[in-house]
């Protein structure tokens, strides 16, 4: 009898749910988009209504509808959700206010207790787990920045004064479990509604990027994962926490007491592609339909014919500036009569590669690390053009893993470990992860990209920053 694991990846733009057999083969997949976030005031970015839970339930239902097997053979659920969000709940565990997105400026500081209706403060995984199981439990590895978490024990600080320094009381916090441990059993009413076995366990993972790392098969610091999603960054795995890191962010991995080193990222990375698609509008839809292709497929096909370097069109991806430089805006430089919409598209993809390459180099310089291979995942990984650009710029082989979501697969790996199907996380990874395609670098393209990067890309902001500082007070 074949058994299956249901895995949830609640991301920034959609929730993805996949069913895997115990060898990691994807048996079914479903997804449901999140609504556009609300921005009711400067710096405030919130998920509308109960959108996160709604998207999770709809994606689960879609995945189960697409499944051709027996639902009674599903033996576990892995839960992975968006990181760096803050969820405020009332005494009945209902939302006291909309969920704060990771883009919300309020998350740059510790929680401030300003609403007497707030009784609990948690993450997206704590909230979604409560909706799934009714348990007041959360994964320790989804708590990043401004939380009273002891990284040495993966528990809350015992000293109430230390907890109070984060604006919290111990009674406001959920109980913690480690990745690969049980959060609870699926609520009886949900199991009946979805046709799943009773008492099916829901298993903890980590923050969504760390689960991406696990599901991509990153085992050491010589392999780098580039996550090509709404927030684009590169990550590797280490046995050691790196104190006082300057150019990267060390965080908890989806394996207890291991750490993910994450580069500085590109805010609204692949979102910029969505922005561009909307910008060119109906003509893109018309042409893609005419060629019987998706919009992304048509853009990528046309971008393949654009020369390396986009005929001198340079894009700087500051569509969402960092808090430290709020004056920055997105920039495109070097237009002339040669440039088409597809030059703009390729230039955006090249900007993604340049930006992440320079962020990776900064991290490797600080850690004295060396990279030998790259794994890409996320929505942008589906683009052969972007994958080849990354291979050429880094001058390294780039692997794209098989499957719809590395985070879903990482959640399945955590669940397989909890169920003792595999003795270790590494054994589960080795058995369940497969490579779909490898992109090898073109040495001539590497030389040109390196020249563009060193002579142009790295020098642009020192000039444009001064202009944007002048325009910021006028247009902010």
Phi-psi label, residue 151: left if phi above 0, alpha if psi -120 to 50, beta otherwise: alpha
Q: What is the pLDDT along the chain (476 residues), one digit of tens a residue?
A: 799 999 999 988 899 999 999 999 999 999 999 999 999 999 999 999 999 999 999 999 999 999 999 999 999 999 999 999 999 999 999 999 999 999 899 999 999 999 999 999 999 999 999 999 999 999 999 998 899 999 889 999 999 999 999 999 999 999 999 999 999 999 999 999 999 998 999 999 999 989 999 999 998 889 999 999 888 999 999 999 998 999 999 999 999 999 999 999 888 888 898 889 888 888 887 888 888 988 888 898 999 999 999 999 999 999 988 888 999 999 999 999 999 999 999 999 999 999 999 999 999 999 999 999 999 988 899 999 999 999 999 999 999 999 889 999 999 999 999 999 999 999 999 999 999 999 999 999 999 999 999 999 999 999 999 999 999 999 97
Please compute Rg for the chain using Cα positions. Answer: 22
403 secondary structure, DSSP code = S
Three-state DSSP state, 371: coil
Q: In whole angstroms, what is the distance from residue 311 CA to residue 466 CA? A: 26
Q: Give the residues across from 381 on adjacent strands.
A: none
Count the neighbouring beta carbons within 10 Å of the beta carbon of residue 161.
8
Which strand (E) or helix (H) includes residue 375? strand 373-377
Torsion of CA 30, 87, 125, 192, to 10 degrees: -60
Q: Give the residues across from 438 on adjacent strands.
A: 399
Q: At what angle do helices 282-290 and 271-280 cross, to 10 degrees?
A: 90
Q: In whole angstroms, what is the distance from residue 393 CA to residue 232 CA? A: 16
Which strand (E) or helix (H) includes residue 348? helix 341-367
Q: Assess contact for 127 and 133: CB atoms under 8 A.
A: no
For residue 418, which of 182, 141, 133 has the smallest C-alpha distance?
182
């Amino acid at each position: 009898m074949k058994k299956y694991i249901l895995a949830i990846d609640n991301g920034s733009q959609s929730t993805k749910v996949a069913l895997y057999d115990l060898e990691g083969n994807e048996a079914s997949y479903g997804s449901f988009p999140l609504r556009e976030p609300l921005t009711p005031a400067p710096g405030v970015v919130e998920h509308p209504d109960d959108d996160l839970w709604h998207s999770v339930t709809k994606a689960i239902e879609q995945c189960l509808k697409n499944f051709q097997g027996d639902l009674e053979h599903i033996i576990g659920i892995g839960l992975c959700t968006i990181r760096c969000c803050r969820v405020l709940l009332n005494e009945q565990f209902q939302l006291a206010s909309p969920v704060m997105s990771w883009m919300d400026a309020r998350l740059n500081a510790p929680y401030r207790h300003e609403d007497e209706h707030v009784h609990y403060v948690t993450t997206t995984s704590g909230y979604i787990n409560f909706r799934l199981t009714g348990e007041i439990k959360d994964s320790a590895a989804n708590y990043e920045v401004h939380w009273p978490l002891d990284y040495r024990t993966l528990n809350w600080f015992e000293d109430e004064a230390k907890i109070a320094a984060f604006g919290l009381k111990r009674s406001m916090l959920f109980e913690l479990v480690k990745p690969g441990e049980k959060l609870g059993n699926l609520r009886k009413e949900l199991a009946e509604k979805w046709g799943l076995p009773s008492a099916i366990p829901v298993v903890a993972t980590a923050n969504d990027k760390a689960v991406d790392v696990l599901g991509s098969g990153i085992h050491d610091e010589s392999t780098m994962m580039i996550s090509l999603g709404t927030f684009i960054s590169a990550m590797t795995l280490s046995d050691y926490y790196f104190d006082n890191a300057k150019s990267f962010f060390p965080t908890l991995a989806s394996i207890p007491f291991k750490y993910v080193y994450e580069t500085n990222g590109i805010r609204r990375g692949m979102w910029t592609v969505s922005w561009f698609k909307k910008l060119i509008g109906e003509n893109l839809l018309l042409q893609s339909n005419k060629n019987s292709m998706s919009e992304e497929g048509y853009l990528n096909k046309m971008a393949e014919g654009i020369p390396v370097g986009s005929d001198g069109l340079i894009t700087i991806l500051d569509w969402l500036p960092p808090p430290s430089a709020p004056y920055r805006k997105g920039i495109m430089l070097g237009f002339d009569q040669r440039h088409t919409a597809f030059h703009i598209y390729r230039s955006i993809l090249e900007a993604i590669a340049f930006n992440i390459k320079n962020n990776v180099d900064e991290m490797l310089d600080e850690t004295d690390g060396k990279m030998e291979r790259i794994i890409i995942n996320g929505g942008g990984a589906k683009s052969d053009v972007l994958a080849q650009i990354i291979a050429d710029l880094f001058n390294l082989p780039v692997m794209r893993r098989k499957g719809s979501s590395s985070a879903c697969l990482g959640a399945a790996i955590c669940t397989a470990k909890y169920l003792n199907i595999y003795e270790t996380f590494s054994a589960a990874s080795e058995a369940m992860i497969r490579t779909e395609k490898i992109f090898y670098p073109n040495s001539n393209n590497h030389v040109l990209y390196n020249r563009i990067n060193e002579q142009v890309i790295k020098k642009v902001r020192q000039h444009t920053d001064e202009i944007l500082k002048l325009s910021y007070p006028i247009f902010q």
